[in-house]
Structure 1
Amino acid sequence: MKDFVSDPNGDPNGARKGWMSTLAKAPAEALLAAWQGYGQQVPFSWLRAPEVGAVMVRGRAGAVGAAFNLGEMSVTRCSLKLEDGRVGHAVVQGRDRKKAEIAALVDALMQGAEGEAVEAAVLAPLRATAAEKAGARAEKAAATKVEFFTMVRGEN
């Protein structure tokens, strides 16, 4: 069985950060479709039912310099506990309670024996879609790239 709790760089939470990032960034419709493709009902109890709130988004000009408050963003967060004691958490952008629930379920399942099946059924399709979109965005940006060159005048 693949060890999903550690990554090759020695960060014990590196793999979890990866799948949590994938879940948070995935469009709600794509996450719901992937979850339905997994096709298993998972009994759980709420530790914190999905609740909508806001977080302050901070930024830095040019990724350097002093941080400043950019504005607020809506988020939905929740925590749940599976029958075997595993706990899943989720914080997703927007006000979609179902997306937060599914993300927390996937987080909890990835911490156990079902990790490989959940990876293949839910996370891999989401990552493939994200990579495809990133490739299309890069292609579109490359089409607008301007090559500047200088002609040597020969006066040297």
Structure 2
Amino acid sequence: MTTTFSAMDRRGWMSLLASADEARLTELWQGYGADPACELLRAPEAGGVMVRGRMGGTGAPFNLGEMTVTRCALSLQDGTVGHGYVQGRSKVSAEIAAKIDALMQTGAADALSAAVLTPLAEEKQKAEDDRAAKAAATKVEFFTMVRGED
């Protein structure tokens, strides 16, 4: 499965970057090779957010709990602004995510997508498939046999 991201898929790449492993994201970013000059609008900072949920996706919202998030905002030299929000306290991941967000809004989107986002998306999909296969292997089918007692 190959995944490609376009400028229309900002929600998709932001979601992918938000949960990416710091070591893997850093490795792919360094492999991309271009680290653009930028001005930090908001230096990476950690904070907490309240996670809300809904029963069945449609019920009344309720507070599920708190989660630590790190955010960063920056501006490239051409004025393009990028934002990064990642789970946990990784300031490095938040800054890389903000740079990727900014670059994905420029002409570098195709090369960056191929070098960083597509491998992350494929690895995430493989992990989800492996988890689903492991869960399916433990599935138990319950049924009732007719015993003929009427």
Q: Which amino acid aligns with 2:61?
A: A
* Partner of residue 84, structure 1: 78
Match of 2:50 among 48, 51, 56: 56
Instruction: Quote the Cα distance in structure 1 between the aligned partners of 2:5 and 2:47.
Output: 34
Instruction: Quote the Cα distance in structure 1 between the aligned partners of 2:105 and 2:44.
Output: 21
Instruction: Quote the Cα distance in structure 2 between the aligned partners of 1:54 and 1:43.
Output: 29
The DSSP-based 3-state class of the residue aligned with 2:42 is strand
Deviates more, 1:138-147 or 1:67-76: 67-76
- Once the two structures are superposed, what CA deviation does each residue of 1:26-66 show, in whole Å capped at 9, x if it has no partner? 11111111101101121000111111111011123443432
Match of 2:60 among 57, 63, 66: 66
Instruction: Quote the Cα distance in structure 2 between the aligned partners of 1:32 and 1:119.
Output: 15
* Aligned positions, number: 147
* Partner of residue 96, structure 2: 102
The DSSP-based 3-state class of the residue aligned with 2:116 is helix
* Partner of residue 143, structure 2: 149
Identity of aligned pairs, percent? 58
Give the Å deviation of 1:153: 5.6
Give the Å deviation of 1:67: 1.8
Match of 1:42 among 36, 40, 55: 36
Give the Å deviation of 1:3: 8.5
The DSSP-based 3-state class of the residue aligned with 1:147 is coil
Normalised TM-score (structure 2): 0.89
Segments of 5+ residues of structure 1 without an aligned counterpart are 7-14
1:4 aligns with 2:6: yes
Q: Which has the higher contact order (CA 8 A, sep 6+)?
A: 2
- Once the two structures are superposed, what CA deviation does each residue of 1:91-139 show, in whole Å capped at 9, x if it has no partner? 1111110000000000000111100000010001101110110011001
Normalised TM-score (structure 1): 0.86
The DSSP-based 3-state class of the residue aligned with 2:97 is helix
1:33 aligns with 2:27: yes
Q: Mapping of 1:131-142 within 5 angstroms?
A: 131-142=125-136
Q: Which runs of 4+ in 1 moved over 6 A?
A: none
